[in-house]
Amino acid sequence: MSPPVAPRCTPPPGYQGAMDIVLATFNAKYIHASFGLRYLHANLGELQPRATIVELDTGMAPLDAVEVLLAHEPRVIGLGVYVWNATLTLAVVELLKALRTDLPVVIGGPEVSHEVDAQPLCALADVVVIGEGDLAFADICRKLLAGEAVEHVVRGGLPDLATLKLPYDLYTAEDLAQRVVYVEASRGCPFLCAFCLSALDAGVRRFDEDAFLAALGALHDRGLRNFKFVDRTFNLSVASCKRILGFFLERLDPALFVHFELIPDRLPAELKGFIAAFPPGTLQFEIGIQTFDAEVAARIDRRHVPAQIEANLTWLRENTGVHLHTDLIVGLPGEDVALFAAGFDRLFALGPQEIQVGILKRLRGAPIARHTDAWGMVYSPRPPYEVLQTGAIPFASMQAMKRFARFWGLLANTGHYRHTLPLLLAGGSPFARFFALSEALGARFGRSHGIASGRLVEALYEHGAAEGIALPTLGRALIADLLNTGRLPLPDLLRPYATEEERLIRKARPAPREGHARQEAHGTRAQVPG
């Protein structure tokens, strides 16, 4: 009898042989290419050929992730930790430490840059890098590979951006073709919004503009047309803004799409001219409003001028084809549902294409923690640390607001019901109308995800009918939405309102969206900035 044959292991995708240094993270989705890992890799100096990047996703089982990491036979593992992957990273590090006590694990990222002593993950890791680790990580690896001791906590500090090697060459052809590619002309933010980790930054630092534009040019030459800027406040420096917009104006083509985050009350005339020169659908602005209430804004150290925001959003809607992605936050200290509703209706009236309704999070290290006692703030102890209730919004109401946020995302921000929603929201406060709808949907389905399109259409139809909308009008709007998004054949309840031709359509190509398909927000962020 022949001896048993040892099973052959399958190398993980992208395996390039043994590597001394494995740089890894769990991305929220495949589409988000990790910008941070590429910076670390680019700045490894002579160690770069001994390192590899391993991008995993949050749907992965911890054991499978450990198998992939160890397959590279690393001598150092570096893990990027964010609010969306903190729990999974802890499970992975627990397994790594059980299997390989000799293998140093270095962690870094916003989630482990604060409250280090309170985190089991930090206690387990050999080295915790606080702050920007672009240069510190290389030093740590040099020492670890040489068998030298490294402090448990290493402060990355704020590297001089002129000394950093830019990471853009590390975006692969697949990244450029299939994923969100991040770029940054600056780091930091001069503002102090209490819910945001950028409030801890020591001002704004800018990359050398010539080098940055050369890197953008190289990406463009390689075929990239979809650029996502992660600068906290892109329109802070008007001169720089004009130069970057000018770069893209010289390269206009129908495939170009550029995303920026803006502060909403700063849009001088000289900038407006540049913005207005772009064809519709080329630019997307993410604009954080968060609250329209002056007292709440002051409480969280958010300085903005609501009248100026209204004027600028109105100008953008009337004079440009910019896709406006705006943000509001539920659960700010002292803001009750009525105040939030007033702000929502005020923003809705300005007509942005998207209103992202975010739920406040108490990110580790964010100054918002100082309001906890005074304003009755209760947060989930687990990532992403969403607010559970406040002195102004009790738990049950907060749950209703979370349903509102999820159904708003599903029905409004996707653009799937652009004919039907105006009917459902007409005749009163859009907030109140949609709140009633989201509560009806919550009661009917008991959840806000995984609802079959046909059942959702049926629910919208019945809700609209109960609200007194003329059935032929409602039916025609739903048919238009289903035809636009290719969700066919039409359900039976809509067939009486369909033309003969529409009844026969079994398949349709979705109509092009207004402008470019929107980019997903927060690929690199933990909480609505801007």
Q: Which residues bind ligand SF4 (CB under 6 A)?
A: 189, 191, 193, 196, 198-199, 232-233, 263, 288, 529-530
Rounded Cα distance, 58 and 86, in Å:
10
Rounded Cα distance, 430 and 433, in Å:
5
Measured in whole angstroms, the distance separating CA 80 from the mean position of its chain's CA atoms is 16
Q: How far is CA 275 from CA 250, 304, 445, in A?
A: 13, 21, 43
Q: Is the peptide bond before 384 cis (omega within 30 degrees of 0)?
A: yes
Is the Cβ of residue 335 or residue 481 nearer to ligand SF4 in the bound state?
335
Is the Cβ of residue 125 or residue 197 nearer to ligand SF4 in the bound state?
197
Is the Cβ of residue 261 or residue 481 nearer to ligand SF4 in the bound state?
261
Alpha-carbon dihedral of residues 522, 252, 176, 517, nearest 10 degrees? 50
In whole angstroms, the minimum distance from the beta carbon of 431 to ligand SF4 comes to 23
In whole angstroms, the minimum distance from the beta carbon of 78 to ligand SF4 comes to 26
E strands, 317-473, where? 323-330, 354-359, 378-379, 387-389
In whole angstroms, the minimum distance from the beta carbon of 224 to ligand SF4 comes to 25
Exposure on the CB side of residue 242, measured as CA atoms within 13 A: 11
Q: How far is CA 224 from CA 144, 166, 177, 215, 248, in A?
A: 37, 17, 7, 11, 12
Q: Print burial letters for 26-59: b (CB count within 10 Å at least 16), e (below 16).
A: bbbeeebbbbbbbbbbbbbeebeebbbbbbbbbe
Alpha-carbon dihedral sign for residues 112, 359, 38, 68: positive
Exposure on the CB side of residue 447, measured as CA atoms within 13 A: 5
> Which residue do the tokens 């907060």 mark?
398
Question: Cβ(76)–Cβ(96) under 8 Å?
Answer: no
Question: Cβ(346)–Cβ(307) under 8 Å?
Answer: no
Q: Is the peptide bond before 489 cis (omega within 30 degrees of 0)?
A: yes
In whole angstroms, the minimum distance from the beta carbon of 236 to ligand SF4 comes to 9
327 φ, ψ (degrees, to nearest 5): -125, 140
In whole angstroms, the minimum distance from the beta carbon of 4 to ligand SF4 comes to 59
Question: Cβ(351)–Cβ(318) under 8 Å?
Answer: no
In whole angstroms, the minimum distance from the beta carbon of 297 to ligand SF4 comes to 11
Is the Cβ of residue 198 or residue 282 nearer to ligand SF4 in the bound state?
198
In whole angstroms, the minimum distance from the beta carbon of 390 to ligand SF4 comes to 19
The alpha-carbon radius of gyration of the chain (Å, integer) is 25
> Which residue do the tokens 């970057």 mark?
244
Is the Cβ of residue 287 or residue 339 nearer to ligand SF4 in the bound state?
287
Which two tokens mark 47?
A: 């160690």
In whole angstroms, the minimum distance from the beta carbon of 16 to ligand SF4 comes to 37
In whole angstroms, the minimum distance from the beta carbon of 522 to ligand SF4 comes to 12
Is the Cβ of residue 54 or residue 289 nearer to ligand SF4 in the bound state?
289
Is the Cβ of residue 306 or residue 321 nearer to ligand SF4 in the bound state?
306
Is the Cβ of residue 258 or residue 329 nearer to ligand SF4 in the bound state?
329
Instruction: Give bridge partners of residue 229 from the DSSP assignment.
Output: 183
Is the Cβ of residue 368 or residue 388 nearer to ligand SF4 in the bound state?
368
In whole angstroms, the minimum distance from the beta carbon of 110 to ligand SF4 comes to 12
On the 0-12 / 13-18 / 19+ scale of CB atoms within 10 A, 354 is buried
Is the Cβ of residue 41 or residue 302 nearer to ligand SF4 in the bound state?
302
How many CB atoms are located within 10 Å of the residue 86 CB? 22
Task: Look at strands 323-330 and 283-290 and give their pairing.
Answer: parallel
Is the Cβ of residue 379 or residue 417 nearer to ligand SF4 in the bound state?
379
In whole angstroms, the minimum distance from the beta carbon of 35 to ligand SF4 comes to 16
Is the Cβ of residue 153 or residue 271 nearer to ligand SF4 in the bound state?
271
In whole angstroms, the minimum distance from the beta carbon of 385 to ligand SF4 comes to 16
Is the Cβ of residue 366 or residue 490 nearer to ligand SF4 in the bound state?
366
Q: Report the length, in residues, of the chain.
A: 530
Is the Cβ of residue 303 or residue 455 nearer to ligand SF4 in the bound state?
303
In whole angstroms, the minimum distance from the beta carbon of 288 to ligand SF4 comes to 5
Question: Cβ(457)–Cβ(482) under 8 Å?
Answer: yes
In whole angstroms, the minimum distance from the beta carbon of 219 to ligand SF4 comes to 24
